[in-house]
Amino acid sequence: MNTLIPDKDYRVASACGIVGIMSQKGKRFSGESIIKSIACMRERANGLGGGFAGYGIYPEFPEHYAFHLMYESEKSKKITEEYLHQNFIIEKDEAIPVQEIPEIKRNPLLWRYFLKPNIKNYDLSEEDFVVKCVMFINTQIEDAFVSSSGKNMGIFKGVGYPEDIGRFFKLEDYSGYIWTAHGRFPTNTVGWWGGAHPFGLLDWSVVHNGEISSYGINKRYLENFGYHCTLFTDTEVITYLFDLLHRKHNLSFEVIANILAAPFWSDIEREKNLERKNFLETLRIIYGSALLNGPFAVIVANRNTMIGLNDRIKLRPLVCAVKDDFLYIASEESAIREICKNPDKVWMPKAGEPTIGNLKE
């Protein structure tokens, strides 16, 4: 007689599906492709979260920050808009266009704003000012959450299977040169609209398959730099770490990979190149609290770059491919071949080794 083993039969240890598509020449293409790709990995999700990030989707407002807001009440919308008017010049605001579909039972009030900072504190850069405002809304205004705050990009996410979320937001009507997507299978946190992936800050977006067991340490480390985690899931720290390490500390993505997916001390001890050994030791000492422990595969994007990265022993799948100027990254090769039948090259990145696509034009 077969005996049900709960952990075996009900938990999908490698679940969550991620995919990213980038035209390195900046060619814009419909969101239909990313929906088709992520739908191929439906079994990696369970309907408790799905989402997309698109870059180049707001060409009519290329220099405005596009804030996507989720509200649980009209009161929270009113308070947030008062705050935005105090700190920004709002060029346009509107409800995010959606279409009612039976698979999406309930959704918060979804609104977007195209705005420019009205900076009164000249000790802050424009981007730091925006980060400060996003943190204020997420921590101080009840029932209001900023899901997206970059220029010429947007994050669309919610509770549902990703292909349903894509249809709900009518992503086939948008065109972008980078698209990322996520199908969520939450194992440790609840499925809710703000907790779906991607997570964003400024023009960063992150989709993640795995579990960050160092979340508590990472969260406390980030608080020293003014970042506050409010969205009840471990992935949020990855977004803020990339912003801190790349934008604030000006580190390359290769160096960031050596921080977030740092080699074990035993591997560093065996390093024969003394200069590299000393460098890796220094990174572990200075940035030890930024190390991401636990299994993970992530796709991180900003306006110029798309990056795929595994944990240091590759406990989550990640496959990459190229075709002409396009870079594809996904949890499964099938998700790539669903939209690119004959890629020029397919490979699996090594543990802790970043795959980086850069905008060439």
Question: What residues are annotated to the active site?
Answer: 16
How far apart (Å, rounded) are the C-alpha atoms in residues 126 and 131? Answer: 9
Select from 321, 323, 327 the least CA-distant residue to 359. Answer: 327
Contact 238, 300 (CB under 8 A): yes
Q: Which of 18, 64, 65 is nearest to 37 (CA)?
A: 18
Give the sign of the dihedral formed by CA 270, CA 272, CA 278, CA 283. Answer: negative
Handedness of CA 234, 194, 299, 19 (dihedral sign): positive
Alpha helices (H) in the chain, listed in sequence order: 6-10, 32-39, 74-87, 126-140, 162-168, 215-223, 236-242, 253-260, 265-269, 274-286, 333-337
Asked if residue 50 lies in contact with residue 160, where contact means CB atoms within 8 angstroms, the answer is yes
Beta bridge partners of 70: 110, 145
